[in-house]
């Protein structure tokens, strides 16, 4: 159906849905020695776990990084327990794009859109967002799946990401956007995650 504005000109609506066949979930640096000092850490952990479970149901690949694991430890156990495989991208650069394996993995998977979660929002999450946007990826930063040590730094990280062109979403909004419809077998599997 065509829509028209008051002046008679046609309104063109662009569909901006997410193609889940070209989507990856990226989890950044939720590690043993970083996690304890993070604001709202339990809520962030719960949302990241939901996103992992959702990704497994929907067949979305998961990439996760660890910043200097020798010094900052591994991914926290609660998240390791739900990951399909434990194979972190180890990095020393703040941006995941500083490690060649990250981009190679995105290319291998045919990824066009990235959903980013993790810590810290104003450092590694922001720099990965900035660099993936610069490389032409569509980036969704999951606002309730990222955090920093202070709320101010989280806000600045999200504001900068938005200014650069990232979509700021939430766990539930993102999940519904990817699913697009109710009544499917996948929706029935996902429904318990939405309670």
How confident is the model at residue 12, as a pLDDT?
A: 45
> For position 7, what pLDDT does the model report?
60
Kindly state whether residue 67 falls inside one of the protein's structural domains.
yes
What is the rounded distance in angstroms from the CA atom of residue 41 to the CA atom of residue 62? 20
Supply φ then ψ for residue 181, to 5 degrees.
-150, 155
Q: Which residues are CB-contacts of 144 (< 8 A; sequence separation ≥ 6)?
A: 43, 44, 47, 170, 171
Tell me, what's the pLDDT at 100?
Answer: 80
- What pLDDT is recorded for position 41? 96
Domain that holds residue 100: 18-194
Residue 6 within a domain? no
User: Exposed, middle or buried, 6 (CB in 10 Å: 0-12/13-18/19+)?
Assistant: exposed
User: Which residues, other chains included, contact 82 with Cβ-Cβ below 8 Å and sequence gap of 6+?
Assistant: 49, 52, 53
Which residue in this structure is represented by tokens 């180890």? 90
Residue 30 in any domain: the answer is yes
End-to-end Cα distance, the chain:
35
Residue 89, SS3? strand
- Give pLDDT, residue 18: 87
Has residue 102 been placed in a domain?
yes
pTM of the entire predicted model: 0.90
Write down the pLDDT at residue 101.
92
- The CATH number given to whatever domain includes residue 64 is 3.40.50.850
The DSSP element (H or E) to which 161 belongs, if any, is helix 151-164
| 10 in any annotated domain | no
Whether residue 4 lies inside any domain: the answer is: no
144, 171 Cβ separation under 8 angstroms: yes
Between the CA atoms of 73, 77, 78 and 82, what dihedral angle is there, to the nearest 10 degrees?
110
Number of domains in the chain: 1
In the chain (195 residues long), the average pLDDT of successive 10-residue segments reads: 53 61 97 96 97 96 95 96 92 93 94 97 98 96 98 97 96 94 89 88
Whether residue 107 lies inside any domain: the answer is yes
């Amino acid at each position: 159906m065509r829509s028209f504005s008051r002046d008679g000109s046609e309104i063109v609506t662009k569909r901006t849905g997410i193609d889940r066949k070209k989507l990856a979930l990226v989890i950044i640096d939720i590690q043993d020695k970083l996690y304890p000092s993070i604001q709202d850490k339990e809520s962030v952990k719960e949302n990241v776990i939901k996103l992992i479970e959702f990704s497994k149901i929907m067949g979305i690949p998961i990439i996760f990084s660890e910043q200097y694991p020798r010094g900052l430890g591994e991914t926290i156990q609660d998240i390791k327990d739900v990951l399909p495989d434990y194979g972190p991208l180890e990095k020393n650069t703040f941006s995941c794009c500083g490690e060649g394996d990250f981009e190679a993995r995105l290319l291998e998977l045919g990824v066009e859109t990235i959903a980013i979660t993790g810590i810290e929002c104003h450092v590694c999450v922001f720099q990965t967002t900035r660099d993936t946007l610069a490389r032409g990826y569509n980036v969704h930063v999951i606002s309730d799946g990222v955090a920093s040590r202070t709320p101010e730094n989280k806000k600045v990280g999200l504001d900068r990401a938005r200014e650069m062109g990232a979509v700021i979403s939430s766990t539930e909004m993102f999940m519904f956007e990817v699913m697009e419809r109710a009544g499917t077998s996948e929706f029935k599997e996902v429904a318990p995650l939405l309670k």
